[in-house]
Structure 1
Amino acid sequence: MTIAKYILVITCFIVVSSPLAVLAKETKDLSTEDIYENRMALYVKTEAITNVPWYYLAAVDTFERGLRRSQKDRPNEDGFIAIYFSEEEWSGVTNPNRQDTNPISIQFFDGVGLDGNGDGKADRQDDEDVLYTFAHYLEGYGVTESDFKIALWERYNRVQSVNIPFGHAKVYQQFDTLDLDDHSFPMPLHHNYSYKNTWGDRRGWGGRRIHEGTDIFANYNVPILATAYGIVEIKGWNKFGGWRIGIRDLNNVYHYYAHLSGFEKEIEKGKVVAPGDVIGYCGSSGYGKPGTQGKFPPHLHYGMYRDNGYTEWSFDPYPSLKSWEKESRRNR
């Protein structure tokens, strides 16, 4: 369903009681398509009420869904929306009732919780109340890109936690859908290439360290493809990785493509990409000053790094590569 159709449907429910108010808390039995449809309906309804763009709401919701998956002290969401408010934040720090759902007493104790669906309750477990409360927070800063960044900074107080959801918003805005789960193997399958699991192997150049990725060996100038929907976070020279590109996907994962011989023309920092887009070409750059080539056979170093809202760490990309290779062969 397009955004225009969502807006037409949702505006019918702004004044009257909406079916969205009785969305099931249990989503495990729903298809991915149904989950996206319900989630988008919530975003668009909230946009119609607050004028906060749906893709801002989707971006933060997606970012915080990733935080819930990577932070042990945050439970997974029960409903469609993953934006998190603590009990104290929602009800008010001095509120003796941590489960308070009365909007009046919550406001008295300076809690943030609001009634988003007109049922007289401000319920921290209600998707509409949570999303409306967060949209109201964003609305207080304004709806420009600069306003959005300021609001993110005030919420997270971390540069990367501003940049990541801001990038998510750009991706959602460009593709106008939530269904962005496809992936691609990072090289065209008709080229000759080989790889094995090299994550964690020792590396000696530049000091003792472990290999934080998988090496895919191929000929010079074999096209390198984006593996996921995302935004180019960095492009340029690194003394270890040579000519490299970093792309952030919608799971808060940073994809690192190193040792390139060069970049595709239109690839720049801030560029939104889709799986299969050519971003550069296989090479042997790195291990020295800018322009150093040929200290090892041509290959792609592919790394994956997860962000949890506090820090970032590498994890083994080999299982993902095998899965995407199989998926790409099946889709040929």
Structure 2
Amino acid sequence: MRTLFHNHLVQKSFWCMSAATILWSGLHLPAAQAASMGSQSPPASVSSKTDVIPTDKAALLSARRELYEQISAATGIPWFRFAAIDQYERTVAKKSKTAPQHLTKLTGITIPPPLWSGPLNPDQEDTSPQSISFFGGFGSDGSGDGRADPGNDADVLYSMARHLLHYGQSSSDFSIAIWEYYHNGRASQRINQFAKLYEHFGRLDLSGNAFPLPLGNTYAYRSTWGTGRSWGGARIHEGTDLFTPHGTPVRSTCYGIVETKGWNRYGGWRIGIRDIDNRYHYYAHLTGYDKKLAQGDIVQPGQTIGWVGSSGYGSPGTQGKFPPHLHFGIYKDRGITEWAFDPYPLLKQWENQEYRARRNKNK
């Protein structure tokens, strides 16, 4: 977003004298001048700012989906693209100790004031669509109330839609528009992955997980987070080792998309899967993969993705330097960096949930 802000600053620099004059005089734009700059045509059917945000998860997702579809009907942009942008912003947002924005908005998209109102706009809290347009701001009126409010979900999504439509409607146009907005290859990749997941499954709720090994098999694991490694230099163990016989099926723990597949000198034959919460699920030391699985494919919880082995710690094909086991790790993307966290608590949770579901099914 900072790069987009810079581009607006360069493109609108010839308005500097006008902005300074307005700032010094303390006057607002004359109505006739504002009207001459062109009017916006917001979609008439989009709801205005939400007064009460549902606390129930199903109701919250339903309200978001309705909003996405309203903007989609008004602009022709598929709902899952709005959902993908919104989800990405939500996954990289910093947690605030003050009143979080998600309590007053359905969406998690945040557009900085200089970008929303215009970099040279003397009123950085401006909500006038005409003056925002004059100063090259991003904000638009999407609810039809005559205001461009960055706290209004309809206004934010409609403003984003106007940006996307500037580049076109195709999937490649969408990728270009996302790149031009964020100027971050990681953001562009994540949003395209999320859009693909939402389009494939046709719903917002992609929660639900599975234990990475079949429960009927013999396996053992404990928390080994942070212990030292004996090969590859000074490093720590960023995951949990699940010891089980060679050839035991390895299952996807989530709804996700295959991001990486192939050899890693530490992890051997490995697969990396990105889920909708922007977490990277890492499965290492495999003996092989499901032959039908390729990079970019979509998987769901419990789906077999490969088999346990003892590959790694060397060049491609190295096997047998340690007992067969699955190394499972999880990494969280926060927009600029990606960091590992201990997956052991989640593994115990998924294992217990699956056992409970099995018991309930057998009753």
Q: Is this a same-fold pair by TM over 0.5?
A: yes
Q: How many residues align?
A: 317
Question: Which residue in the other structure is 1:109 paired with?
Answer: 135
Q: Is the 8 A contact 2:46 2:71 kept in 1?
A: no
Aligned with 2:51 (options 24, 49, 64): 24
Question: Which residue in the other structure is 2:187 paired with?
Answer: 161
Question: Which residue in the other structure is 1:235 paired with?
Answer: 261
CA shift for structure 1 position 22: 4.7
Distance, in Å, in 1 between the alignment partners of 2:135 and 2:98 is 25
Matches within 5 A, 1:44-59: 44-59=69-84
Question: Which residue in the other structure is 2:326 paired with?
Answer: 300
Distance, in Å, in 2 between the alignment partners of 1:294 and 1:70 is 44
Distance, in Å, in 2 between the alignment partners of 1:308 and 1:198 is 24
CA shift for structure 1 position 206: 1.1
Q: What SS does the aligned partner of 1:34 have?
A: helix
Question: Which residue in the other structure is 2:25 paired with?
Answer: none
Question: Which residue in the other structure is 2:66 paired with?
Answer: 41
Name whichever of 299-308 and 76-85 sits farther off. Answer: 76-85
For residues 165-213 of structure 1, give each alpha carbon's deviation from its aligned partner in whole angstroms, at most 9, with x where no partner exists: 1111111110000011111111111111111111111012011100111
Distance 1:264 1:73, change over 3 A: farther
Question: Which residue in the other structure is 2:30 paired with?
Answer: none
Distance 1:269 1:70, change over 3 A: farther
Distance, in Å, in 2 between the alignment partners of 1:164 and 1:16 is 28
Q: What SS does the aligned partner of 1:36 have?
A: helix
Give TM-score scaled by structure 1 length: 0.91
CA shift for structure 1 position 141: 1.0
Q: What SS does the aligned partner of 1:24 have?
A: coil
Q: Is the 8 A contact 2:129 2:140 kept in 1?
A: yes
Distance 1:74 1:271, change over 3 A: farther
- Report whether the alignment pairs 1:150 with 2:176: yes
The aligned amino acid for 2:257 is: I
Q: Which has the larger radius of gyration?
A: 2
Question: Which residue in the other structure is 2:88 paired with?
Answer: 63
Q: Percent identity?
A: 49
The aligned amino acid for 2:173 is: D
Across the aligned residues of Structure 1 and Structure 2, the Cα RMSD in angstroms comes to 2.1
For residues 249-304 of structure 1, give each alpha carbon's deviation from its aligned partner in whole angstroms, at most 9, with x where no partner exists: 11111111000110012111000111111111111110011111111111111111
Question: Which residue in the other structure is 1:212 paired with?
Answer: 238
Distance, in Å, in 1 between the alignment partners of 2:187 and 2:119 is 24
Distance, in Å, in 2 between the alignment partners of 1:141 and 1:86 is 22
Distance, in Å, in 2 between the alignment partners of 1:175 and 1:55 is 10
Q: What SS does the aligned partner of 2:93 have?
A: helix
CA shift for structure 1 position 26: 3.7
Question: Which residue in the other structure is 2:198 paired with?
Answer: 172
Distance 1:255 1:302, change over 3 A: same
Matches within 5 A, 1:75-224: 76-77=101-102, 78-224=104-250
Distance 1:69 1:325, change over 3 A: farther
Aligned with 1:247 (options 273, 278, 297): 273
The aligned amino acid for 1:49 is: A
Distance, in Å, in 1 between the alignment partners of 2:290 and 2:95 is 33
CA shift for structure 1 position 306: 1.0
Distance, in Å, in 2 between the alignment partners of 1:256 and 1:22 is 40
Distance, in Å, in 1 between the alignment partners of 2:135 and 2:84 is 29
CA shift for structure 1 position 218: 0.8
Unaligned runs of 5+ in 1: 1-14
Distance 1:74 1:199, change over 3 A: farther
Q: Is the 8 A contact 1:305 1:315 kept in 2?
A: yes
Question: Which residue in the other structure is 2:347 paired with?
Answer: 321
Q: Is the 8 A contact 1:70 1:308 kept in 2?
A: no
Q: What SS does the aligned partner of 1:168 have?
A: helix
Question: Which residue in the other structure is 1:11 paired with?
Answer: none
CA shift for structure 1 position 72: 9.7
Q: Is the 8 A contact 1:68 1:75 kept in 2?
A: no
Question: Which residue in the other structure is 1:4 paired with?
Answer: none
Give TM-score scaled by structure 2 length: 0.83
For residues 55-100 of structure 1, give each alpha carbon's deviation from its aligned partner in whole angstroms, at most 9, with x where no partner exists: 1111111111001147999954331111120011111111122221
The aligned amino acid for 1:126 is: N
Q: What SS does the aligned partner of 2:77 have?
A: coil
Distance, in Å, in 1 between the alignment partners of 2:144 and 2:185 is 36
CA shift for structure 1 position 158: 2.1
Unaligned runs of 5+ in 2: 1-41, 359-363
